[in-house]
Amino acid sequence: MVAASVGLPDRGDGACIHLDKENKCSIYEDRPLICRVDELFEEIDHGMTKEEWYDANKKSCNSLIDKLNLDKKYKLE
């Protein structure tokens, strides 16, 4: 996901500035709602099961990584 597109600070390569060297969130406990997939699922009317929600989020993130030619290490499995 391009960090700036969801209001997060971009470190210059499309990734959130809060990712550390191991690609883990350094503000995990205080991350914004857009990064809280479970809580966001509860907040919006989406017409999906939680499994479908996870899959849609993963596909969307991975698609943006491909489209923007970002480092593949950010892809979700």
Question: Can you give the residue ranges of every domain in the chain?
Answer: 3-74
Residue 19's DSSP bridge partners are 25
Q: Which residues contact 31 (CB under 8 A, 6 or more apart)?
A: 18, 25
pLDDT band at 17 (very low <50, low <70, confident <90, very high): confident
- Using DSSP's 3-state secondary structure scheme, residue 10 falls into strand
Tens of pLDDT, residue by residue over 42-74, are: 988 779 999 999 999 899 888 878 887 888 888
